[in-house]
A = this chain, B = another copy of it.
């Protein structure tokens, strides 16, 4: 249930509603907007009696939320959420262009790629220290050593760092080194991890699962918000279908659909979404054109030697060209890059 406060409601009014919610054994989540504040109610198993709230001062409307998600919905917050990742806004007018290698392999490799993507125009850096790998015999990432390298990449380039977190045990150490924690597609419904990430104070980048509906993606985001972390960025990265000409089928309709029903920003990852280097540029254009808030692009200086996901990584010069194209394209859709 969602309680919408009057634009003229006082802090006292809001406090009174919060108190009433808590007195019922439920949680209250005040969500301040530009015009008005909404208060989400969670913790109820069944229906909540709306009459308990309708007559409190400052309450305009009580919305029984029929959609299974509440806090992530546009009904809860009408304005777009802009998430700040290390000072770089994601979800605003400027496209977030995130570049970097799939996996951190060495300090030299990571920094070299970092410098090259910054020069090309990336505003954020991503690289994996912990890698989820289908096979136990594949390279699993450098772990803490990789995190330290990422911190040095930030020091050298000034780019905030996004990196994947695989489990609850490493949430703290990853949060210590990174500016944004990525939840991979395979973990989109790892609810223990989501709950834990809901209690940190760093942004989370949540990727859509390979067979996840948009409703399920939003409900996974809801886990984060319900625990108190409102700094959530979504990411479409392709779903699994019968189509075999790309590794995944990039579902770009997810972008306008999410933007209509949720206030959260959404990026597109055309590198994993296609799995093919030659398709990254055209699908990046499509992603920006469809309205995505930014791109997640894999870049490697020697893709043929990459320890993971080589065939989809762009070379630095290809990435440079990509950013240049996005700069020409962005203004047409009311953005900058």
List the interface of chain A (C-beta within 8 A of B).
Answer: 42-45, 68-70, 132-140, 166-169, 186-187, 189-193, 195, 209-211, 213-216, 219, 222-223, 226-227, 239-246, 249-257, 260, 273-274, 278-279, 282-283, 285-291, 325, 328-329, 332-333
Contacts and interface: CB of A to CB of B under 8 A. Distances in A.
Nearest to A165: B192
Contact of A245 (B69, B213, B290): B213
Contacts of A251: 241, 243, 249-250
Contacts of A43: 137
Most buried by B among A134, A213, A222: A134
Nearest to A241: B241
A283 B279 contact: no
A254 B278 CA distance: 12
B222 A135 contact: yes
B254 A245 contact: yes
Given A134-B216, A290-B283, A190 B191 contact: no
A257 B279 contact: yes
Please give me the 3 A-B residue pairs with the lowest Cβ-Cβ distance, nearest first.
Answer: A211-B211, A167-B192, A289-B289
Contacts of A249: 239, 241, 249, 251, 253
